[in-house]
Every structure is written in structure tokens, then in C-alpha cells.
A = this chain, B = another copy of it.
């Protein structure tokens, strides 16, 4: 089923069909001819071949989004935001989950170079290999020389969360940190180091409940004087709840906890977790917006998406 079949079907040339389907019919093809072509195509079930179009035009009208862990609901929101915006602009989005494996990320760069994708949305620290500067790449939650970025106001969020704890009177604040060496986590750590009286008790963990539980257990055992925990992510916060439960610590009476991201999981914890709410979908939307400017030949300015501290039941004054 090709444009030639359609052309034959309604007695026009193949190029006429092409004109109609590439939206360039306006003012060149008569309305009657166009209607005839469309209805013939409809009857035959014709769809323009994407591969041929991509080959000819050099544009695939598709982008790829690379995330480290699609299992974390934050990235679900991110994808949805990006996909909604992309769809509206006529782009498809392919999602690559690297499963926290740096190598996989660069595999996606190949998709770009292979012509399958017109641009990349990277939630990864590694600048793509061979980046000669001109490639349509937007980095999310990281800073890469040369590429525009979309990021959350992590500093602002972490500051707000920590000040909230300090205002409540906490001084011995532990940091349950992500083990990943990404700017977004570095910013959290920097805020902690800046605001919390030294020395900071810190443990690192994967962003998974069990790992966080173990790390929290260790941190709380090594530092029984801690009155509050700042967690790099709500999932980590959930792990901290598990650890607190095991140790017989009540939240917030014995231990205050703050999380980051505002995932669903933070709301079903008991008590609800005080957390920094980050709008993943908005971040995805903004990232695509930057990319589409890039694809249009423009030079977008990096953008920062605001976050907001939501004070819920997991924080209170330290015990007497």
C-alpha cells in the first residue's frame, strides 16, 4: 500500500498524493482533487511510510527520553509531561530506561546518530559522547556544557525543607542521600552542608525502599542523637519510615522526616510525609519545549521549574 496505489486508484500522479499527505496541498492542489485523494487513501487504508519519509526528509519526528529508572513514579510523570507536549507538536517519544546503567544511556545517543530520533532528552549526567556541540540535546536535572537544561529548583526546595527543620528547633539532622553522582543530588547535599551544623551524619543508598531502610537503620544506630532526617527522595523517606518503625521511633515525636519529589507514596505514609513537591510532568513539558526550540534552529535558555515544600505530618519539634 503505497502512494502509487492511491494515485492509481484515483487517477492522479504519485506526487499529487505526496503533496496532499505532506500538508503542502494548500494553494497547489484543487480541493476536489485533494478530497478524492483522501477518500481513496481512506478506502485503501493507506498510511505514508515513516521510514521513507524519514530517509527523504532527514527528520524522524521522534525524540527519545532517557531516564535512569522508570520504576520510580517520578519518571512516569516526567514522561507523561514530555509526551503530552510532544504529541501536540507532532512528535513521538521513545522512552529508554537505563536501569541505572550509564552505558545504556549512550546507546540512546546512537539512536540519534542513526537517524531514528531528531533529538534527545537526557536525564543522565554523562554528556553524550562525541558531542560536537550542535546536537539537539536537552539535559534534565543536570548541567552539561553546551546543552540547554531543564531543572528543578532543587536548591530552593532543599533550603526550604532544611529551614523548616531548623525553625522547628532541630540541630542534629541526618542526611539519607542517594548514592548516585548526579548534580540533582549534589545540590541537595550542598544545601545540607551549608545549612546544617557540622558534622553532618550522612548515609548513602540506592533509591529503593529496602536499600533505604537498611541505610536508615545504620544511620540511626550510629547516630542515636539525630532528631530529624532529610531524605533525597520520597522512596528513601519511605525506607526511613520502615527503619523508624523497626527501631520503635515514632514520627514525628521521636524523629522528623522530610522527603523530596511529592510522589503518591509520600501521601499514604502514616503520618503523611512532609516533602518537597516537584512537578515531574511540568519538568517534562519544559524539557520538550526547549528541545523543540532547538529543533527549530533556535537557542533556548535553560529553565528552572519551581518546587514547593508541603509541610505534612512527619515533621514537628524535636523531643524535649
Contact = CB atoms under 8 A, between A and B. Distances in A.
A71 B50 CA distance: 29
A75 B73 CA distance: 10
Nearest to A129: B45
B209 A235 contact: no
Contacts of A264: 209, 235, 238, 265
14 contacts: A49-B55, A51-B54, A51-B55, A70-B70, A71-B77, A76-B97, A95-B95, A241-B268, A241-B270, A242-B268, A245-B270, A264-B265, A268-B269, A270-B270
Contacts of A92: 94, 96, 111, 116
A243 to B, nearest CB: 11
A110 interface: yes
Contacts of A209: 264, 267-268
A11 interface: no
Contacts of A270: 241, 245, 269-270
Nearest to A74: B71
B50 A115 contact: yes
Contacts of A51: 51-52, 54-55, 60, 115-116
Contacts of A69: 76
Contacts of A110: 47
Interface string A56-79: 000010100000011111011101
Contact of A49 (B45, B80, B114, B245): B114
A288 B209 CA distance: 28
A48 interface: yes
Interface in A13-61: 45, 47-52, 54-55, 60
A113 interface: yes
A238 B116 contact: no
Interface string A255-289: 00000000011011110000000000000000000
A71 B114 CA distance: 30
Interface of A: 45, 47-52, 54-55, 60, 62, 69-73, 75-77, 79-80, 83-84, 92-97, 99, 110-111, 113-116, 130, 209, 235, 238, 241-242, 245, 264-265, 267-270
A290 to B, nearest CB: 21
A45 to B, nearest CB: 6
Given A71-B73, A92-B94, A268-B269, A52 B55 contact: yes
Nearest to A270: B270
A50 B51 CA distance: 8
A297 B238 CA distance: 47
Contacts of A62: 94, 116
A70 B79 contact: yes
Nearest to A234: B268
B76 A80 contact: no
Contacts of A76: 69-73, 75-76, 97
- Which of A76, A209, A267, A269 has the largest number of chain B CB atoms within 10 A? A76
